[in-house]
Amino acid sequence: MMRSDRIKKGPERGPHRSLLKATGLTDTDIRRPFIGVANSYTDVIPGHVHLDAVGEYVKRQVYAAGGTPIMFNTIGICDGIAMGHYGMKYSLASRELIADCVEAMCEAHQFDALICIPNCDKIIPGMLMASLRLNIPTVFVSGGPMEAGRVGGRDVDLIDQFYAVARQKVGKMSARQVKQYEDNTCPTCGSCSGMFTANSMNCLC
């Protein structure tokens, strides 16, 4: 018996199947294992802006392998953008919200397995916490790291941008030079280039 049979098998689950069919699922889709796809795509975090495309690829592969993918999203907070102001108070709390939301979605809809598509500081741990609570087969597909940038012929990362701001404050770098770092230290999507929690968390995936 599949977990998802609790919401889709037998005559008493006719109303449940009606609701599932309203989402576009067919009888064949409903007979397959339900695979939750927890995605943390958002437009505001560089580590997450590309995860919509990753999610669509994952859905295609799940379907090809005989499952029915069911994607849902979680919130995500960028620690780099939240730091230095009141917003940072929400960063750690967001980890608990993510864990709770992923757990709630999987239990309420009785998914048979889970694929998590996270990235960055609090989102990966939040999904890890949820997967441990759920104890169902789970695969993690990380959003991956950002490429290093180039300034003045050398590799640079986000840490160099912080250093550049500090150097400008003490008169050791011009505003024009600092702008070069601002424009080039984060050249691609992915978790922030540098030794941050975002990348150590990626190592766990």
Domain 5-146+194-204 sits in CATH at 3.40.50.2300
Query: What does the pLDDT read at residue 204?
Result: 83
Query: What does the pLDDT read at residue 151?
Result: 95
Query: What does the pLDDT read at residue 194?
Result: 81
- Residue 169 pLDDT greater than 90, yes or no: yes
Both structure tokens of 165: 């701001």
Angle formed by the axes of helices 91-108 and 123-134, to 10°? 30
- Predicted model pTM: 0.93
Cβ-contact 95, 126 below 8 angstroms = yes
For residues 93-113, give the mean pLDDT: 99
Query: 108-145, pLDDT tens digit by residue?
Result: 999 999 999 999 999 999 999 999 999 999 999 999 99
Helices vs. strands in the chain: H and E counts, helices first: 10, 6
Domain boundaries in the chain?
A: 5-146+194-204, 149-184
- Using CA atoms, how far residue 201 sits from 80, 143, 144, 147, 160, in Å, is 15, 11, 10, 17, 21
What percent of the chain has a predicted confidence (pLDDT) above 90? 93
For residues 64-71, give the mean pLDDT: 98
- Residue 100 pLDDT greater than 90, yes or no: yes
Query: What are φ and ψ of residue 155, in 5° steps?
Result: -70, 140
CA distance 111 to 68: 10
Query: What does the pLDDT read at residue 84?
Result: 93
Query: Which residue has tokens 């505001």?
Result: 44
- Residue 21 pLDDT greater than 90, yes or no: yes
CA dihedral 85, 89, 92, 94 (to 10 degrees): -100
pLDDT classification of 36: cutoffs 50, 70, 90: very high
Q: Which residue has the higher pLDDT, 197 or 9?
A: 9
- Residue 176 pLDDT greater than 90, yes or no: yes
- Residue 196 pLDDT greater than 90, yes or no: no
Query: What does the pLDDT read at residue 193?
Result: 84
Across all residues in the chain, what is the average pLDDT? 96
